[in-house]
Structure 1
Amino acid sequence: MTGAFENWYKRLEPAILIKVEDFHILGYREIKMSHIWSFLTEVKWRNVSPPSLHEGINDIMQMNIGQLMQFITTPSKKQVKQSLLDETLVQEVLKSDAD
């Protein structure tokens, strides 16, 4: 958890749990509280100070599954892209050593 938001987690935990249960009802059973918390701290509140309690709860309740799934899957896409770039770089180095 990021420093400024550590105290907020306990206060917002009931709202996060409700949202997780909402997503489970919709069939997204793999969603965890940590996914929602990471989305909030890394995306929603990235460049702002911790919101007031009612703003934080509103942000949680207004979150939709599309936003969350995009957040969850984006790092893996970046890792795959980086892996392909690394592999290409290795091939270029090996090719230049062979020449």
Structure 2
Amino acid sequence: MGEIHPYNKYFQDLLPALKSKVEEFRLLNYGTIDIPSLWKYLTAKKWRKPEEDIHVHELVADILSMMPGEYMNYATIEAYRSTNWFEEVNEEELKELLGTKKGK
């Protein structure tokens, strides 16, 4: 996903709406969200198929109508995709965790 999203050119224009949405999420106790995370969600998921003749007001409407659950579902799935749960667990620890260690 190293591609540049076509809507990146609107980022500065959309910044007030992004700030507003982040603040709204924080007021609703979704404090872990920030502007870069929100932008990543929008460009990777909500705007996955960009329209050629989009208007800024349509993008603002997308941002302002977004529900916390939409973002949280995306963030949860991304966390599961990117995490190697056993990365720092060696074979001995894994056997102990799974109860397959001899003598048990």
TM-score category of the 2 structures, normalised to the smaller one? 0.7 to 0.9
- CA shift, 1:28, in A, is 1.1
Pick aligned residue for 1:21 from 20, 23, 26: 23
Give the structure 1 partner of residue 73 of structure 2. Answer: 70
Pick aligned residue for 2:51 from 49, 52, 71: 49
Residue segments in structure 1 that go unaligned for 5+ positions in a row = 84-99
Instruction: Please give the per-residue CA displacement for 1:10-55, whole angstroms capped at 9, x wherever unaligned.
Output: 0100000000000011111111011211111111111123631110
Residue segments in structure 2 that go unaligned for 5+ positions in a row = 87-104
User: Could you tell me whether the CA contact under 8 Å between 1:16 and 1:36 is conserved in 2?
Assistant: yes
CA distance in 1, matches of 2:83, 2:38: 23
RMSD over aligned Cα atoms = 2.3
Give the structure 2 partner of residue 5 of structure 1. Answer: 7
The size of the alignment, in residue pairs, is 84
Aligned AA (2:44): E
Aligned AA (2:38): I
* Identical pairs, percent: 29
- CA shift, 1:62, in A, is 0.7
Give the structure 2 partner of residue 92 of structure 1. Answer: none
CA distance in 2, matches of 1:74, 1:41: 16
